[in-house]
Amino acid sequence: MNYIAIGLFGLAAILGNSTHAQNAPQMDLQRIKISAGMHLIDTQVATSPEQHATGLMFRKEMPSSEGMLFVFQQASQQCFWMKNTLLPLTAAFVADDGTIVNLADMKPQTTDSHCSARPVRYVLEMNQGWFGKKGIKAGFKLGGYPFETQ
């Protein structure tokens, strides 16, 4: 066996293990509480590119008062899709000061792209319908860390 074959075999083993790990929901992320008016949201915080890529994939349920906050290094147009995501979600694209720029309902297991209307650093994913039931629309301001540090 030559070095190339050994290298390819090792790479296949690594990719095989990472694929297995990617088929399970990520549950061990840092959590913070943010507010939407009088409503508290327990958010898991995704900060790394790997955490962003996995997001809420493979989850079969999420409590109604929980969500995932995606934090990016700098503001840019953020686009999300739902491949391997089993739950219907709404994405709130959020400016640095906590103002919701726009909302997008997303269907499970699709590759349709849902993008921010302008550059943002934050995206909050909640169960679909959560924002509507609370009367929260574009222009509403979220509170708590990281929005109060701006």
Per the structure, the count of domains in the chain is 1
Residue 89 lies in a domain: yes
- Eight-class DSSP state of 52: H
Residue 114 lies in a domain: yes
For 15-74, how does the pLDDT look when each residue is reduced to its tens digit (9 = 90+)?
333 443 456 677 789 999 999 999 999 999 999 999 999 999 999 999 999 999 999 999
Q: Where are any strands of DSSP class E within the chain?
A: 31-36, 39-46, 66-76, 79-80, 89-94, 100-106, 114-115, 120-127
Residue 40 lies in a domain: yes
Q: What is the C-alpha to C-alpha distance for residues 147 and 28, in angstroms, rounded to an integer?
A: 23
Question: What integer pLDDT is reported at residue 149 of this predicted model?
Answer: 63
DSSP-derived 3-state class of residue 28: coil
For 93-128, how does the pLDDT look when each residue is reduced to its tens digit (9 = 90+)?
999 999 999 999 999 999 999 999 999 999 999 999
Residue 11 lies in a domain: no
